[in-house]
Amino acid sequence: EKVVLVAGTFDILHESHINMLRNARNLGERLIVMLSTDEFNAEKGKKSYQDYDTRKYVLEAVRYVDLVIPEQSWDDKALYVDMFDVDIFAMGDDWKGKFDFLKDQFPELKIMYFPRGKTSSSKIKEELGSL
């Protein structure tokens, strides 16, 4: 079966995240999500509203998601691609090209960049704040 891997923070899960997860899942039979830990987000200079456990709890309730694992560093991708024998790595195209380096190590790996949806967690936070 084809294993698909995606990575992200998935803070305040919204329809653009769902679209991406659904598109990724439809590329294969099993979808694994590498979820950024709070510590890794700090490294990315990103602050999430929801903590890791909450974001994991929400993602595990999504029908397209089969497994959620922690993303603690940039090199975790190669680790998990190997561990789970991943066939396809999928991201939104705001990351276009950023993970092509994985093909050096895994020539068979397919990398998909989906068009990014229009919703963003930061926009939601902003608009909620000005309600």
Q: Does residue number 119 form part of the binding site for ligand C2G (CB under 6 A)?
A: yes
Q: Are strands 88-92 and 30-36 parallel, antiparallel or unpaired?
A: unpaired
Q: Does residue number 8 form part of the binding site for ligand C2G (CB under 6 A)?
A: yes
Kindly report the CA angle at 125 between 58 and 20, in degrees rounded to 5?
Answer: 45
Compute how many residues bind ligand C2G; rule: CB under 6 A: 20
Among 18, 38, 69, 120, binds ligand C2G (CB under 6 A): 120
Residue 109 C-beta: closest distance to ligand C2G, Å: 15
Q: Does residue number 70 form part of the binding site for ligand C2G (CB under 6 A)?
A: no
Q: Which two three-digit tokens encode residue 67? A: 């497994």
CA distance 4 to 112: 10
Beta-bridge mates of residue 28: none
Q: Does residue number 80 form part of the binding site for ligand C2G (CB under 6 A)?
A: no
Q: Does residue number 16 form part of the binding site for ligand C2G (CB under 6 A)?
A: yes
Q: Where are the beta strands (DSSP E) in 72-123?
A: 88-92, 110-114
Q: Does residue number 117 form part of the binding site for ligand C2G (CB under 6 A)?
A: yes
Q: Does residue number 36 form part of the binding site for ligand C2G (CB under 6 A)?
A: yes
Nearer to ligand C2G, 87 or 99 (CB): 99
| Residue in 123, 122, 129, 97 with CA at minimum distance from that of residue 112 | 97
Q: Which residues are catalytic?
A: 44, 46
At residue 44, φ and ψ (nearest 5 deg) are -80, -5
Q: Which residues in this chain contact ligand C2G in the complex, by CB under 6 A?
A: 6-10, 16-17, 20, 36, 46, 71, 91-92, 94-95, 114, 116-117, 119-120
